[in-house]
Structure 1
Amino acid sequence: MNNWIKVVIAGSALIATPFLQAGDVSRGEDLSGQCMACHAAEGNTDNPEWPIIHGQGKRYLYEQLQAYKSGDRENAVMQSQVADMDDQDLRDLAAYFASQEGGISGGVDPDLKDLGESIYRGGLPDEGVAACMACHGPAGEGMAGAGYPRLSGQLAEYTADQLRKYKDGERTTDRNRMMRDIAERMSDEEIEAVSSYISGLHKRESE
């Protein structure tokens, strides 16, 4: 097994601590009304400017909401939405969206499929890029306890945009620079290909 992957797995075991303070799904649903304008009903948007958060991992959602509130992750719309929320509000919202069943929209561009699949499942060994599935799972389901996000079915344009932000250093919410170190080693073509593959991953795994 690739040594980099061994480190990832070992690290995941250490940080996969319980989500100690539970969120209230019902209260989170009440709070979610203001989210619908961008993320749509139940977080299942088709607008690539915003992520699908329907069925996303609870810990990941909570940590991203925290990052917006603290300013560690910048987005004027999101920062304004969470500005007046307290910690329990964030936990309740995360619990609500995580409770929705995953497996959503998206499809893979056939012209990008082979390259995207190769990167997702095997990485880019010559560039020191580990397989995406080492952290995000073979079906893109993520590692909810460790806070590694679900990618399956995510809009390709959104995923590519986030990888470019990691590559450019605009987004810095990754632990130990993990995603920045990966994205910096990827070409634009490779980013587009793996993002497309991820978008259609749920369909391939369910066939």
Structure 2
Amino acid sequence: MNRVFSPFVKSLFVALLAVSSVATAAEEKKAPAADPAKGEALYTSGDASRNIMACVGCHGAAGNSTIAQNPKLSAQHAEYIAKQLHDFKTPQRNNPIMSPIAKAMTDEDIKNVAVYLDRQAAKPGAAKNKDIVELGKKIYRGGIAEKNVPACAACHGASGGGMPAQFARLAGQHQDYTVVQLTSFRAGARKNSAQMTTIAKRMSDEEIQAVADYVAGLK
């Protein structure tokens, strides 16, 4: 019996393999590889025809923002940037400036910009408040046991490098920006991470500021 059906099984396998190959090729055609050159062009100049502002005006050359309220994006994981841009299109992270820009961007635009920024070299930051940086270090590395706050390093890495597709790179980020994001998570204004909302709600203003200062000095 095996001999009788063997040619049929082989033919069926070949047919299925061919269909799979066609489907894979079609998927690749639908989702072209990211183009960092196009990402740089959109980041630097925007696209007036689609009401997409140039990112460089707020986030600085190559993603190295010099404005404390605007995040540094250089060397940030492409997957994380892409997720945030998609989240800006939803109520989870509604922002009067970023939401309209993100909504005007295609999936291809987002991939291109994200990959471009991922490849840029980050400029280091520095702690501002030396009096609380040690508290920030303690929380970042060991958490706050009595409040059930886990160590930030567990997800974002000992040096703030984060994890691609999972957790943001934090090293060198502006203190002011980090403080605003943590307080937004705590207040429920930023809703795109249940994990961060839970953690931030357990932290005081001083603890948030301390962590933000410590993170700014990581390299």
Name the aligned partner's letter for residue 74 of structure 2. H
How many residues are matched?
180
Between stretches 36-45 and 73-82, larger displacement belongs to: 73-82
Residue type matched to 2:92 in 1?
A: D
One of 107, 111, 134 as aligned partner of 2:154? 134
Percent pairwise identity: 39
Question: Residues 167 and 183 of structure 1 are in contact (CA less than 8 Å); yes or no, is this contact kept in structure 2?
Answer: yes
Deviation of 1:109 after TM superposition, in Å, equals: 2.1
1:62 aligns to 2:82 (yes or no):
yes
Normalised by the size of structure 2, how large is the TM-score? 0.79
Structure 2 residues without counterparts, runs of 5 or longer:
1-30, 45-53
Q: Does 1:161 align with 2:180?
A: yes
Q: Which residue of 2 aligns with 1:13?
A: none
TM-score, length-scaled by structure 1: 0.83
For the 8 Å contact 1:73–1:171, the answer to whether it is kept is yes
For 1:21-100, what aligned pairs fall within 5 Å after superposition?
22-33=33-44, 34-100=54-120
2:127–2:133 contact (8 Å) kept in structure 1: no
Higher relative contact order (CA 8 A, sep 6+): 1
Q: Which moved more, 1:92-101 or 1:64-73?
A: 64-73
Give the C-alpha shift of residue 108 in structure 1.
Answer: 4.7
Q: Quick one: which amino acid aligns to residue 193 of structure 1?
A: A
Query: Do the aligned residues in 2 keep the contact of 1:113 with 1:196 (CA within 8 Å)?
Result: yes
Match of residue 105, structure 1, among 121, 125, 144: 125
Q: Does structure 1 retain, via aligned residues, the 8 Å contact 2:125–2:218? A: no
Kept after mapping to 1: 8 A contact 2:124/2:217: no
Aligned mate of 1:170, from 189, 202, 207: 189
